[in-house]
């Protein structure tokens, strides 16, 4: 099979290469998936760049997310069938066969049925962003009905699915963005209101539109902390999935609000909570409540450019396309 690999951390153009590898067979409890679309997240380029602790064991096929067709079942696998469409999450976590290849091998639990109504591009957009969003929203849609949710960075991948999951659960959703282009994306995702967070009156604008908010899905906790504390309802929750910097927290305002501050990293989410996020995401997907982000696509041979595009902050989702679901590979035939 053709696969992207890196053998050491470093810049994309220096360490990523496309090579021929033997097609791996699924072990016990695993499935092999013929990949159609491989989605790229910030965690993918950060791991390749060496910004995380993990290093390749010989080689690493990158990318956690993707969508394709089950090609082979390992011993003991139930609930999936050869030929079934699936979306994958955390494929490259503790596994050298990520989704940036013509075939990926993953534990069966990490291959989730993809409805016929959902495109492979949509399937590749899910994974880390949608499950992170579901977890940050509390993993329980019933608790959101009639509540108010603020989604910071509503045009990002996690923000996109936080808006759609919360709205589908019956919450009022307000999002913050930085530009007219991103405002349009958040509105298209289903946010009831969208506020430019760089405006001087952003917090007042949120309060005027929806009043105090019960839960905040936060992409930049330090940058947005003042706004968050001004709009958070008493007993409210701030759930952040991007807290790489050192946080300095004002204890008094947080205590006065009886606020809960939640940190989310999908790799270490407890199994039962991850299962709840998968169920919720799958239910809303089957109901047609989730959509793909704007997609920028690259062929496998340009995987280094694709990762660089994510690192440079391309709006929407960057993917690598590997086939069309029929077993045919584009082999460079896709256009960006």
Do residues 216 and 171 make contact, with C-beta atoms less than 8 angstroms apart?
Answer: no
Which pLDDT tens digit goes with each residue over 176-193? 999 999 999 999 999 999
In the chain, where does the domain assigned CATH 3.40.50.720 lie?
131-268
Which pLDDT tens digit goes with each residue over 150-173? 999 999 999 999 999 999 999 999
Backbone φ and ψ for 257, nearest 5 degrees, come out as -85, -5
**Per-residue pLDDT at 332 exceeds 60:** no
CATH T-level fold of 131-268: Rossmann fold (3.40.50)
The dihedral sign for the CA sequence 144, 274, 59, 19 = negative
Q: Binning pLDDT at 50, 70 and 90, where does residue 246 land?
A: confident
What is the per-residue pLDDT for 326?
63
Do residues 319 and 295 make contact, with C-beta atoms less than 8 angstroms apart?
Answer: yes
pTM, 2 dp: 0.94
CB count, 10 Å around CB of 181?
11
The three-state secondary structure class of 48 is helix
**Per-residue pLDDT at 244 exceeds 80:** no
**Per-residue pLDDT at 295 exceeds 90:** yes
As a whole number, mean pLDDT of residues 271-278 equals 96
CATH of 2-126+290-321, one of 3.90.180.10, 3.40.50.1000, 2.60.40.10, 3.40.50.300: 3.90.180.10
What is the per-residue pLDDT for 52?
84
In the chain, where does the domain assigned CATH 3.90.180.10 lie?
2-126+290-321
Q: Binning pLDDT at 50, 70 and 90, where does residue 329 land?
A: low
């Amino acid at each position: 099979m053709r696969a992207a690999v890196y053998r050491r951390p470093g810049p994309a153009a220096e360490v990523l290469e496309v090579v021929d590898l033997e097609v791996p067979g699924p072990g016990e409890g695993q499935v092999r998936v013929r990949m159609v679309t491989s989605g790229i997240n910030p965690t993918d380029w950060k791991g390749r760049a060496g910004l995380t602790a993990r290093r390749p064991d010989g080689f690493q096929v990158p990318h956690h997310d993707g969508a394709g067709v089950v090609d082979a079942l390992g011993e003991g696998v139930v609930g999936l069938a050869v030929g079934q469409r699936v979306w994958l999450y955390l494929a490259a976590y503790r596994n050298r066969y990520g989704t940036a290849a013509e075939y990926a091998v993953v534990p069966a639990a990490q291959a989730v049925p993809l409805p016929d109504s959902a495109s492979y591009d949509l399937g590749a957009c899910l994974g880390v962003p949608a499950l992170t969003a579901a977890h940050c929203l509390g993993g329980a849609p019933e608790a959101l009905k009639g509540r108010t949710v603020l989604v910071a960075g509503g045009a990002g991948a996690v923000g996109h699915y936080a808006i759609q999951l919360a709205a589908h659960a019956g919450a009022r959703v307000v999002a913050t963005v930085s530009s007219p282009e991103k405002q349009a994306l958040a509105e298209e995702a289903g946010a009831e209101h969208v506020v430019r967070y760089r405006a001087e009156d952003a917090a007042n604008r949120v309060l005027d539109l929806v009043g105090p908010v019960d839960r905040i899905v936060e992409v930049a906790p330090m940058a947005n902390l003042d706004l968050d504390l001004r709009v958070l309802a008493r007993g409210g929750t701030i759930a952040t999935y991007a807290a790489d910097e050192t946080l300095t927290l004002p204890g008094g305002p947080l205590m006065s609000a009886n606020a809960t501050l939640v940190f989310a990293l999908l790799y270490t989410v407890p199994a039962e909570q991850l299962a709840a996020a998968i169920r919720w995401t799958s239910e809303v997907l089957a109901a047609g409540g989730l959509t793909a982000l704007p997609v920028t696509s690259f062929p496998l041979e340009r995987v280094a450019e694709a990762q660089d595009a994510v690192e440079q902050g391309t709006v929407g989702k960057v993917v690598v396309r590997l086939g069309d679901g029929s077993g045919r590979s584009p082999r460079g035939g896709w256009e960006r």
